[in-house]
């Protein structure tokens, strides 16, 4: 029996709003064969909807390791501590960088940030018809954001910053000594966008919780992903698989490379690994 950890966006879930039929079939077949299928995503629990709910996961790691669920029951909840939060908050404010403050119960932002999201939405989805627009991840994200006056009132576990006049590299250099900073895993936020989280909270720490929960061993683990925040999964897992649409840097760290998400990547990986 194996325990398989699947990234969402770009791996299992296409940004235009669907999971390939072949991936759904592969997950269902693997579970019937006795394997555990776990979602391991940077998305918050409130962002897991639509096609992402079509799989009966054996575990969900949300918020890049901050919130962990087993069959609907939450077993772990982690957030920034006061020092970590204030460090990020003050830096983003000082540099006027729009950002989304994420928690397991919602996504929060200032009105200025939501206005920036609306501009991105018009640029990237303005040419789409109503049905296509509503399926796009950026449309869904925009309508999930709650505008609040005081961001300190909420238990935040991850912060995603939008592209701004401040380059990603500047954010990385200033904050990475004390926090994890990676390029955004949701491309529509812009080339200079990124994600900030606590070094205490990663997808790999989430994997450890579910491995222990199911009384399994590291040798039984498989991780499949396409983004920078999946590299810690690759280091933790016995076998790591990069999607064909992953960046070169991610592919270089993987044990295997499957086809892209639009070319039955999950299904082909499961076949190659004898899960189905």
Alpha carbon distance 266, 3 (integer Å): 14
Give pLDDT, residue 251. 98
Range of the domain at 174: 82-197
Q: Do residues 174 and 216 share a domain?
A: no
Are 94 and 135 contained in the same domain?
yes
What pLDDT shows up at residue 138? 86
Q: So what's the pLDDT on residue 126? A: 84
User: How buried is residue 152: exposed, middle or buried, by Cβ count under 10 Å (0-12/13-18/19+)?
Assistant: exposed
What is the SS3 assignment for 39?
strand
For the chain, residues with pLDDT lower than 50 are none
Residues 90 and 173 in one domain: yes
Asked if residue 99 and residue 23 are part of one domain, the reply reads: no
Q: What is the pLDDT of residue 185?
A: 79
pLDDT for res 128: 84
Q: Report the pLDDT value the prediction gives residue 208, as an integer from 0 to 100.
A: 98
Q: Which among 197, 225, 257 is the end of a domain?
A: 197
pTM of the predicted model as reported, rounded to 2 decimal places: 0.87
């Amino acid at each position: 029996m194996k325990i398989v950890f699947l990234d969402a966006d770009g791996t299992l879930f296409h940004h235009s709003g669907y999971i390939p039929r072949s991936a759904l079939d592969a997950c269902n077949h693997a579970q019937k064969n006795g394997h555990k299928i776990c979602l391991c995503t940077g998305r918050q629990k409130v962002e897991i909807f639509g096609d992402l709910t079509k799989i009966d996961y054996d575990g969900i790691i949300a918020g890049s390791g901050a919130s962990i669920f087993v069959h609907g029951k939450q077993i772990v909840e982690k957030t920034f501590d006061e020092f970590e939060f204030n460090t990020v908050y003050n830096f983003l404010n000082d540099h006027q960088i729009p950002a989304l403050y994420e928690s397991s119960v919602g996504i929060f932002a200032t009105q200025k940030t939501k206005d920036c999201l609306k501009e991105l939405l018009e640029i990237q989805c303005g040419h789409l018809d109503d049905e296509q627009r509503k399926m796009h991840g950026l449309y869904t994200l925009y309508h999930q954001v709650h505008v609040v006056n005081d961001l300190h009132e909420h238990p935040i576990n991850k912060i995603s910053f939008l592209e701004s006049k401040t380059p990603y590299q500047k954010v990385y250099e200033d904050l990475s000594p004390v926090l994890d900073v990676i390029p955004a895993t949701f491309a529509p936020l812009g080339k200079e966008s990124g994600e900030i989280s606590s070094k205490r909270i990663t997808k790999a720490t989430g994997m450890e919780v579910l491995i222990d929960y199911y009384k399994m061993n590291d040798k039984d683990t498989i991780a499949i992903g396409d983004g920078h925040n999946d590299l810690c999964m690759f280091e933790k897992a016995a076998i790591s698989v990069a999607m064909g649409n992953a960046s070169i840097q991610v592919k270089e760290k993987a044990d295997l490379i499957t086809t892209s998400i639009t070319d039955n990547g999950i299904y082909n990986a499961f076949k190659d690994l004898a899960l189905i």
